[in-house]
Amino acid sequence: MNATSSILSAIPRRLHLQENHPLAITRQLIESRFPDFQYHNDLFPAVTVGQNFDSLGFPTDHVGRSRTDTYYLNKETVLRTHTSAHQADTFRANKSAGYLISADVYRRDAVDRSHYPVFHQMEGARTWDRTAFTSNEELVQAIWDDVAKIPKHSIDVEDPNPTIHDDRNPLQEGHSAAEVEAIAAHLKRSLEDVVVTIFKAARSAATASGDAATASTADEPLKVRWVEAYFPFTSPSWELEVFWQGDWLEVLGSGVVKQSILDNAGVPDRVGWAFGLGLERIAMLLYSIPDIRLFWSTDRRFLSQFSTKSTPQRFVPFSKYPPCFKDVSFWLRSSSSAAGGLSRTTTAPSDFHENDVMEIARDVCGDLVEDVQLVDEFVHPKTGRKSMCYRTNYRSLERTLTNDETNDLHERFRQQLVEKLGVELR
């Protein structure tokens, strides 16, 4: 087990289900565009290794399986790293043609304003049953009929590449080009409708904020583009990007579901599409939230700004509290490896992984640590020992930290590096 007490304490929070929380509002906004889908929002985060990796075809040596990246509760049980851990079970249940899953997911990751070890994903899928039609032509026509039911929009869409490309975006064996063209059209029109809804809300929030720097966004014509992509669960695959405040932003990934996933789920006669997105990423755009830690805040100054009963309002940041930077330098006792996962002891410190440093920083300092960056490393020319230096930025979102407070935090951080990683402080 490498899940710390701070990670386990996040499980009951269920931010995506809290009334008037920005993540819950964002979830509901997206769900409103799929009224006929079945919603799954309360699935427990502890899943088997088979659900999280094997059901999706992860190779046995995939880095995602490593303790450096994933929280293990025991050898066979993990905290899900993606909502797709429930995909095969949902397909197997076969209760609806379309579904949405929203959930908290857990990954060992960097410490900065856009990364947090617990975040929230939403994924959706829509499939059609081939056995319900007498021919492939009838299936294709039924999908196109469903495309025609999707609300129209007038936004500028760039989609220059063919739906199918033998090398970049290949057709799966057993799929016809005609059905994939129809499925892709249904996928793209459905997700364009979602983006129009989200960014209309974002424009309203920018206008309501009164901030001249962002209010001008309301006058920009909305532009989106489809970009060819690779995902292990779909083919062909695409990312959807939106031109927002002067830059192209990726908002989701999608594609035609790998038939092997449907076959293994016991529904080999179904064919369709799937997508996935990060709720924090969408909410940060929608409300101009500058730091991912804010989603976990219990400060009423933050939470009172959001309500499902009013037009979305742009988040008004707290006063800028000063940062406090402190460095820690240490020697590794041996060559590094990718084993990691806080699995070593002080008597066997042969493994090192950067995510372990990040984990210790979060565990010791909680949300008072804003950023941890590697700022220097070198190998001693005579001894061959490797030295590393990490710079930590301590900053509260709610108050000014005292120097004594940050000194105490940093000293505890330093000592935990020694105790858990077996490093030698410089």
pLDDT of residue 199: 85
Asked whether the predicted pLDDT for residue 88 surpasses 60, the reply is yes
pLDDT tens per residue across span 116-150: 999 999 999 999 999 999 999 999 999 999 999 99
Span 324-425: which CATH code? 3.30.70.380
Asked whether the predicted pLDDT for residue 204 surpasses 80, the reply is no
Overall average pLDDT of the 147-163 stretch: 94
Name the average pLDDT for the chain: 90
19-33, 192-206, 243-257, 343-357: least confident range: 343-357
SS (HEC) of 246-264? CEEEEEEEEEEECHHHHHH
pLDDT of residue 172: 97
Overall average pLDDT of the 219-230 stretch: 88
214 phi/psi in degrees, rounded to 5: -110, -20
Q: How far is CA 141 from the centre of its chain?
A: 35
pLDDT of residue 320: 79
End-to-end CA distance of the chain: 30
Asked whether the predicted pLDDT for residue 242 surpasses 80, the reply is yes
Q: How confident is the model at residue 337 (pLDDT cuts 50, 70, 90)?
A: very low
Strand 72-74: give its sheet, edge to edge: 46-48, 77-79, 72-74
Q: How far is CA 304 from the centre of its chain?
A: 25
Whether 237 and 255 have beta carbons less than 8 Å apart is answered as yes
Q: How confident is the model at residue 343 (pLDDT cuts 50, 70, 90)?
A: very low
Q: Where are the domains of the chain?
A: 5-303, 324-425
Q: How confident is the model at residue 326 (pLDDT cuts 50, 70, 90)?
A: very high
pLDDT tens per residue across span 369-406: 999 999 999 999 988 899 999 999 999 988 899 999 99
pLDDT of residue 339: 45
What class, spelled out in words, does domain 5-303 have in CATH? alpha beta
Asked whether the predicted pLDDT for residue 92 surpasses 50, the reply is yes
Asked whether the predicted pLDDT for residue 230 surpasses 90, the reply is yes
Note whether 5-303 and 324-425 share their fold: no
- Name 250's Cβ contacts closer than 8 Å, sequence gap at least 6: 227, 239, 240, 241
Whether 370 and 395 have beta carbons less than 8 Å apart is answered as yes
